[in-house]
Amino acid sequence: MKIKYELISQDKKARRGLLHTNHGTVETPMFMPVGTLANVKMLTPEEIKEVGSGVILSNTYHLWLRPDEDVVAKAGGLHKFMNYDGPILTDSGGFQVFSLAKNKKKDITEEGVHFKSHIDGKSLFLTPELSMEIQNKLDSDIAMSFDECIPYPATYEYTKESTERTLRWAKRGKDSFNNPNQSLFGIVQGGAYPKLRKYSAEKTVEMDFDGYSIGGTSVGEDKKTMYEMVDNAIKYLPEDKPRYLMGVGEPEDLLEGVERGVDMFDCVLPTRLARHANAFTPYGKINLKNAKYKEDFTPISDTCDCYTCKHYTKAYLRHLFVAKEGLGGRLLSIHNIRFLIKMTEDMRNAISEGNFIEYKEQFLEKYKN
């Protein structure tokens, strides 16, 4: 079946809903952990489920290069290949083409993008049709349109040309899409230009996708500009379909996005921070390598219900990082992902109770001190 979005309650623009998929129903707003190479770094699928994850994200570009989509298809699809029975979303590979291409050299044409593999320098060519073919074989619940992630800053002329090409790519991808049990999201581009955001959103919606994402944010712009990008796109998206803000994972950005009506977020940030000993707490991020935690026998947060906070202290975690033991990154990844997922759970409750703004203000008052 195709996904279906069901609105449960609303507090101004903030929305609480249900996303019905082939692999279960999940609540929104939600944070999606990133499992780029068919795994969330250092964690098992069981651990990901335990922290309350619904949808997780895997990446078309990386799985195309290794092991390749045919291997995944022979395994029975991505869910069976990685042993995850919840919903999976696959990114189109577009962002990785533009961020990881060998030496950053690429040739963007109307047909697609010529670039070199970041692994071995091999020449590759990715088109909207090939991205759809790969994702159809991966058999995720949600596939993404192939787009160009516009850099920031970019001129109006470049942004307009790229936005129009992304729209043509979206139509080509949708026309070639060939998995009746998979849903397809369109991606709104337009850079930092309100007229182009409006144009991209309206034209993308005309193609009638199963959901819509706001792309081209969190690429180096300041926070004010990012929020304006969201504002200039989301008001043109339909209310009966899910809205996804791509690549965003800072707690304050989740709050700002939900306030504007965003339903879905993803980011590598919680696991990346964890591998460098950084932890989310209600009072901001901390680095557990700091000497002051050497004899701190309290959990990262006494209000956190994750496995790590229930069983381990900051002193022990600091010891693991100082001793370069991999367990430190695993335990901290569990905590950081749970922190963001618990945030979305709390936001859902606040929306239902009609006090989302109060929740946001109270969270930020503590978090920024």
Catalytic residue chosen out of the listed positions 11, 141, 253, 266: 266
Do 210 and 185 touch, CB atoms closer than 8 A?
yes
Structure tokens at 104: 């950053």
- From start to end of 12-163, where are the E strands? 14-21, 24-28, 30-33, 56-59, 88-91, 106-108, 113-116, 123-126, 142-144
CA 257 to chain centre: 13
Q: What's the CA gap between 293 and 312, in Å, rounded?
A: 13
Q: Which of 173, 209, 212 is nearest to 189 (CA)?
A: 212
**Residue 91 annotated in active site:** yes
Tokens matching residue 122: 């091999």
Residue pair 143/92 in contact by the 8 Å Cβ criterion: yes
* CA distances to 128, 150, 169, 199 from 165, in Å: 11, 11, 6, 13
Contacts 24+ apart (CB under 8 A), 123-128: 126/61, 126/64, 126/93, 126/97, 127/172, 128/169, 128/170, 128/172, 128/173, 128/176
Catalytic residue among 11, 70, 91, 305: 91
HSE value, Cβ hemisphere, 13 Å, CA-based, for 53: 31
End-to-end CA gap in the chain: 46
266 tagged catalytic: yes
* Active-site amino acid positions: 91, 266
